[in-house]
Structure 1
Protein backbone atom coordinates (compact mmCIF):
# COMPACT_ATOMS: atom_id res chain seq x y z
CA UNK A 1 0.00 0.00 0.00
CA UNK A 2 1.42 3.38 -0.88
CA UNK A 3 1.11 6.73 0.93
CA UNK A 4 -1.33 8.16 -1.61
CA UNK A 5 -3.79 5.38 -1.00
CA UNK A 6 -3.61 5.83 2.79
CA UNK A 7 -4.23 9.61 2.74
CA UNK A 8 -7.22 9.34 0.43
CA UNK A 9 -9.06 6.82 2.58
CA UNK A 10 -12.62 7.83 3.24
CA UNK A 11 -12.74 10.81 0.87
CA UNK A 12 -14.37 10.38 -2.50
CA UNK A 13 -12.37 11.35 -5.55
CA UNK A 14 -13.54 14.60 -7.21
CA UNK A 15 -15.95 13.77 -9.96
CA UNK A 16 -17.12 16.50 -12.37
CA UNK A 17 -20.38 14.62 -12.85
CA UNK A 18 -21.02 14.58 -9.10
CA UNK A 19 -20.24 18.10 -7.68
CA UNK A 20 -20.06 18.79 -3.97
CA UNK A 21 -22.79 20.76 -2.16
CA UNK A 22 -20.46 23.78 -1.92
CA UNK A 23 -19.84 23.67 -5.66
CA UNK A 24 -23.56 23.38 -6.31
CA UNK A 25 -24.21 26.36 -4.03
CA UNK A 26 -21.60 28.46 -5.86
CA UNK A 27 -23.06 27.47 -9.21
CA UNK A 28 -26.57 28.42 -8.07
CA UNK A 29 -25.33 31.82 -6.83
CA UNK A 30 -23.57 32.53 -10.15
CA UNK A 31 -26.68 31.55 -12.08
CA UNK A 32 -28.83 33.83 -9.89
CA UNK A 33 -26.48 36.75 -10.47
CA UNK A 34 -26.46 36.18 -14.23
CA UNK A 35 -30.24 35.85 -14.29
CA UNK A 36 -30.63 39.06 -12.27
CA UNK A 37 -28.38 40.95 -14.67
CA UNK A 38 -30.32 39.58 -17.65
CA UNK A 39 -33.65 40.59 -16.12
CA UNK A 40 -32.33 44.11 -15.39
CA UNK A 41 -31.09 44.45 -18.97
CA UNK A 42 -34.44 43.33 -20.36
CA UNK A 43 -36.33 45.66 -18.03
CA UNK A 44 -34.14 48.58 -19.14
CA UNK A 45 -34.85 47.77 -22.79
CA UNK A 46 -38.57 47.56 -22.11
CA UNK A 47 -38.71 50.87 -20.20
CA UNK A 48 -39.65 53.12 -23.11
CA UNK A 49 -40.42 56.10 -20.88
CA UNK A 50 -36.90 56.06 -19.40
CA UNK A 51 -35.37 55.68 -22.87
CA UNK A 52 -37.37 58.66 -24.12
CA UNK A 53 -36.23 60.75 -21.15
CA UNK A 54 -32.60 59.82 -21.80
CA UNK A 55 -32.90 60.68 -25.49
CA UNK A 56 -34.61 63.96 -24.65
CA UNK A 57 -31.90 64.88 -22.17
CA UNK A 58 -29.20 64.02 -24.70
CA UNK A 59 -30.90 66.09 -27.41
CA UNK A 60 -31.30 68.98 -24.98
CA UNK A 61 -27.59 68.85 -24.11
CA UNK A 62 -26.62 68.77 -27.79
CA UNK A 63 -28.91 71.73 -28.52
CA UNK A 64 -27.45 73.71 -25.62
CA UNK A 65 -23.92 73.01 -26.84
CA UNK A 66 -24.80 74.07 -30.39
CA UNK A 67 -26.53 77.21 -29.12
CA UNK A 68 -23.47 78.14 -27.07
CA UNK A 69 -21.23 77.56 -30.09
CA UNK A 70 -23.45 79.64 -32.38
CA UNK A 71 -23.70 82.37 -29.75
CA UNK A 72 -19.92 82.52 -29.45
CA UNK A 73 -19.55 82.72 -33.22
CA UNK A 74 -22.14 85.51 -33.44
CA UNK A 75 -20.36 87.51 -30.72
CA UNK A 76 -17.05 87.03 -32.50
CA UNK A 77 -18.45 88.10 -35.86
CA UNK A 78 -20.26 91.08 -34.31
CA UNK A 79 -17.01 92.19 -32.71
CA UNK A 80 -15.23 91.87 -36.05
CA UNK A 81 -17.98 93.83 -37.81
CA UNK A 82 -17.91 96.56 -35.14
CA UNK A 83 -14.15 96.85 -35.48
CA UNK A 84 -14.44 97.01 -39.27
CA UNK A 85 -17.05 99.78 -39.02
CA UNK A 86 -14.87 101.71 -36.59
CA UNK A 87 -11.87 101.35 -38.88
CA UNK A 88 -13.68 102.47 -42.04
CA UNK A 89 -16.23 105.00 -40.79
CA UNK A 90 -15.26 108.67 -40.77
CA UNK A 91 -14.78 110.35 -37.37
CA UNK A 92 -17.75 112.77 -37.64
CA UNK A 93 -20.11 109.87 -38.33
CA UNK A 94 -18.77 107.95 -35.32
CA UNK A 95 -19.27 111.00 -33.11
CA UNK A 96 -22.89 111.41 -34.25
CA UNK A 97 -23.57 107.69 -33.74
CA UNK A 98 -22.08 107.92 -30.24
CA UNK A 99 -24.31 110.87 -29.37
CA UNK A 100 -27.38 109.06 -30.74
CA UNK A 101 -26.56 105.95 -28.69
CA UNK A 102 -26.13 108.09 -25.55
CA UNK A 103 -29.45 109.81 -26.17
CA UNK A 104 -31.18 106.45 -26.73
CA UNK A 105 -29.75 105.08 -23.47
CA UNK A 106 -30.91 108.17 -21.59
CA UNK A 107 -34.46 107.95 -23.00
CA UNK A 108 -35.14 104.23 -23.10
CA UNK A 109 -38.83 104.36 -22.18
CA UNK A 110 -40.01 106.39 -25.21
CA UNK A 111 -37.74 104.39 -27.47
CA UNK A 112 -39.13 101.09 -26.15
CA UNK A 113 -42.69 102.37 -26.52
CA UNK A 114 -42.09 103.32 -30.16
CA UNK A 115 -40.45 99.95 -30.82
CA UNK A 116 -43.40 98.09 -29.25
CA UNK A 117 -45.88 100.14 -31.28
CA UNK A 118 -44.04 99.34 -34.50
CA UNK A 119 -43.98 95.65 -33.59
CA UNK A 120 -47.72 95.62 -32.87
CA UNK A 121 -48.41 97.42 -36.16
CA UNK A 122 -46.35 94.85 -38.08
CA UNK A 123 -48.10 91.90 -36.38
CA UNK A 124 -51.57 93.36 -37.05
CA UNK A 125 -50.81 93.95 -40.71
CA UNK A 126 -49.35 90.46 -41.08
CA UNK A 127 -52.43 88.80 -39.54
CA UNK A 128 -54.83 90.76 -41.77
CA UNK A 129 -53.01 90.12 -45.00
Structure 2
Protein backbone atom coordinates (compact mmCIF):
# COMPACT_ATOMS: atom_id res chain seq x y z
CA UNK A 1 0.00 0.00 0.00
CA UNK A 2 1.16 3.50 -0.63
CA UNK A 3 1.02 6.38 1.82
CA UNK A 4 -1.94 8.09 0.11
CA UNK A 5 -4.15 5.04 0.60
CA UNK A 6 -3.34 4.95 4.33
CA UNK A 7 -4.02 8.60 4.89
CA UNK A 8 -7.31 8.56 3.03
CA UNK A 9 -8.79 5.66 4.99
CA UNK A 10 -12.20 6.65 6.12
CA UNK A 11 -12.35 9.75 3.93
CA UNK A 12 -15.10 9.47 1.39
CA UNK A 13 -14.07 9.59 -2.26
CA UNK A 14 -15.17 12.69 -4.11
CA UNK A 15 -18.51 12.05 -5.82
CA UNK A 16 -18.47 12.23 -9.62
CA UNK A 17 -20.61 14.76 -11.41
CA UNK A 18 -23.84 13.77 -13.09
CA UNK A 19 -22.23 14.14 -16.55
CA UNK A 20 -19.46 11.75 -15.55
CA UNK A 21 -22.03 9.31 -14.22
CA UNK A 22 -23.98 9.44 -17.49
CA UNK A 23 -20.80 8.83 -19.48
CA UNK A 24 -19.91 5.91 -17.25
CA UNK A 25 -23.42 4.43 -17.61
CA UNK A 26 -23.25 4.79 -21.42
CA UNK A 27 -19.84 3.08 -21.55
CA UNK A 28 -21.12 0.28 -19.33
CA UNK A 29 -24.20 -0.15 -21.56
CA UNK A 30 -22.05 -0.29 -24.69
CA UNK A 31 -19.72 -2.86 -23.12
CA UNK A 32 -22.68 -4.91 -21.93
CA UNK A 33 -24.25 -4.79 -25.40
CA UNK A 34 -21.01 -5.96 -26.99
CA UNK A 35 -20.73 -8.78 -24.46
CA UNK A 36 -24.31 -9.88 -25.12
CA UNK A 37 -23.70 -9.82 -28.89
CA UNK A 38 -20.54 -11.90 -28.48
CA UNK A 39 -22.36 -14.46 -26.32
CA UNK A 40 -25.27 -14.60 -28.79
CA UNK A 41 -22.84 -15.22 -31.65
CA UNK A 42 -21.20 -18.06 -29.74
CA UNK A 43 -24.57 -19.58 -28.94
CA UNK A 44 -25.75 -19.41 -32.60
CA UNK A 45 -24.67 -22.90 -33.66
CA UNK A 46 -26.39 -22.73 -37.03
CA UNK A 47 -24.52 -19.58 -38.05
CA UNK A 48 -21.22 -20.98 -36.84
CA UNK A 49 -21.83 -24.19 -38.81
CA UNK A 50 -22.61 -22.17 -41.94
CA UNK A 51 -19.42 -20.20 -41.46
CA UNK A 52 -17.32 -23.33 -41.10
CA UNK A 53 -19.04 -24.88 -44.12
CA UNK A 54 -18.26 -21.81 -46.20
CA UNK A 55 -14.64 -21.90 -45.08
CA UNK A 56 -14.28 -25.61 -45.92
CA UNK A 57 -15.96 -25.02 -49.27
CA UNK A 58 -13.53 -22.23 -50.05
CA UNK A 59 -10.51 -24.35 -49.17
CA UNK A 60 -11.86 -27.23 -51.28
CA UNK A 61 -12.35 -24.92 -54.26
CA UNK A 62 -8.80 -23.62 -53.89
CA UNK A 63 -7.39 -27.15 -53.76
CA UNK A 64 -9.50 -28.21 -56.75
CA UNK A 65 -8.19 -25.26 -58.75
CA UNK A 66 -4.62 -26.10 -57.74
CA UNK A 67 -5.01 -29.75 -58.73
CA UNK A 68 -6.67 -28.75 -61.99
CA UNK A 69 -3.76 -26.46 -62.81
CA UNK A 70 -1.28 -29.22 -62.00
CA UNK A 71 -3.14 -31.68 -64.23
CA UNK A 72 -3.17 -29.19 -67.12
CA UNK A 73 0.54 -28.60 -66.66
CA UNK A 74 1.33 -32.33 -66.61
CA UNK A 75 -0.89 -32.95 -69.65
CA UNK A 76 0.94 -30.20 -71.53
CA UNK A 77 4.28 -31.70 -70.57
CA UNK A 78 3.12 -35.17 -71.67
CA UNK A 79 1.82 -33.83 -74.98
CA UNK A 80 5.12 -32.05 -75.59
CA UNK A 81 7.06 -35.22 -74.72
CA UNK A 82 4.97 -37.29 -77.14
CA UNK A 83 5.41 -34.65 -79.83
CA UNK A 84 9.17 -34.60 -79.24
CA UNK A 85 9.45 -38.43 -79.38
CA UNK A 86 7.17 -38.90 -82.42
CA UNK A 87 8.98 -38.98 -85.76
CA UNK A 88 8.29 -36.03 -88.07
CA UNK A 89 6.89 -38.11 -90.97
CA UNK A 90 4.30 -39.62 -88.64
CA UNK A 91 3.32 -36.16 -87.36
CA UNK A 92 2.93 -34.94 -90.95
CA UNK A 93 0.74 -37.93 -91.86
CA UNK A 94 -1.39 -37.38 -88.74
CA UNK A 95 -1.80 -33.71 -89.65
CA UNK A 96 -2.83 -34.64 -93.20
CA UNK A 97 -5.33 -37.21 -91.90
CA UNK A 98 -6.84 -34.63 -89.54
CA UNK A 99 -7.16 -32.14 -92.41
CA UNK A 100 -8.85 -34.73 -94.65
CA UNK A 101 -11.19 -35.70 -91.82
CA UNK A 102 -12.20 -32.06 -91.28
CA UNK A 103 -12.86 -31.54 -94.98
CA UNK A 104 -14.82 -34.79 -95.41
CA UNK A 105 -16.78 -34.73 -92.20
CA UNK A 106 -20.14 -35.92 -93.57
CA UNK A 107 -18.89 -39.11 -95.25
CA UNK A 108 -16.86 -39.98 -92.16
CA UNK A 109 -19.92 -39.54 -89.94
CA UNK A 110 -21.99 -41.76 -92.26
CA UNK A 111 -19.30 -44.47 -92.25
CA UNK A 112 -18.99 -44.23 -88.45
CA UNK A 113 -22.76 -44.54 -88.00
CA UNK A 114 -22.82 -47.55 -90.34
CA UNK A 115 -20.08 -49.26 -88.34
CA UNK A 116 -21.97 -48.62 -85.09
CA UNK A 117 -25.19 -50.05 -86.58
CA UNK A 118 -23.30 -53.09 -87.90
CA UNK A 119 -21.75 -53.75 -84.49
CA UNK A 120 -25.11 -53.41 -82.75
CA UNK A 121 -26.76 -55.83 -85.19
CA UNK A 122 -23.99 -58.39 -84.75
CA UNK A 123 -24.19 -58.04 -81.00
CA UNK A 124 -27.96 -58.52 -80.90
CA UNK A 125 -27.70 -61.61 -83.17
CA UNK A 126 -25.05 -63.07 -80.88
CA UNK A 127 -27.37 -62.79 -77.89
CA UNK A 128 -30.19 -64.62 -79.68
CA UNK A 129 -28.12 -67.76 -80.18
Check whether TM > 0.5: yes
Cα deviation, residue 101, structure 1: 9.0
Compute the displacement of 1:20 (Å): 1.3
Cα distance in 1 for residues equivalent to 2:17 and 2:88: 98
Within the candidate set 75, 89, 92, 2:72 is matched to 75
RMSD between superposed Cα atoms in Å: 2.9
Name structure 1 gaps, 5 residues minimum.
1-14, 115-129
- Tell me the distance in 2 between the aligned counterparts of 1:24 and 1:100: 89
Q: What SS does the corresponding residue of 1:19 show, helix, strand or coil? A: coil
Residue of structure 2 in register with 1:41 after alignment: 38
Q: Could you tell me how far 1:100 is from its partner in structure 2? A: 5.7
Q: 2:52 aligns with which of 48, 55, 60?
A: 55
Counterpart residue number, 1:19: 16
**How far off is 1:108 after superposition?**
7.4
Give me the TM-score of the superposition, normalised by structure 2: 0.63
- Following the alignment from structure 1 to structure 2, what is the Cα–Cα distance between the partners of residues 18 and 57? 53
Task: Please name the residue that 2:27 is paired with.
Answer: 30
Per the TM alignment, residue 102 of structure 1 is displaced from its structure 2 partner at its CA by 7.1
- Matched residues in 2 for 1:16 and 1:62: separation? 58
Q: TM-score, normalised by structure 1?
A: 0.63
1:92–1:34: structure 2 CA closer, same or farther, 3 Å change rule? same
| Distance (whole Å) between structure 1 residues aligned to residue 38 and residue 80 of structure 2 | 57
Classify the secondary structure of the residue corresponding to 2:16.
Answer: coil
CA distance in 1, matches of 2:47, 2:85: 57
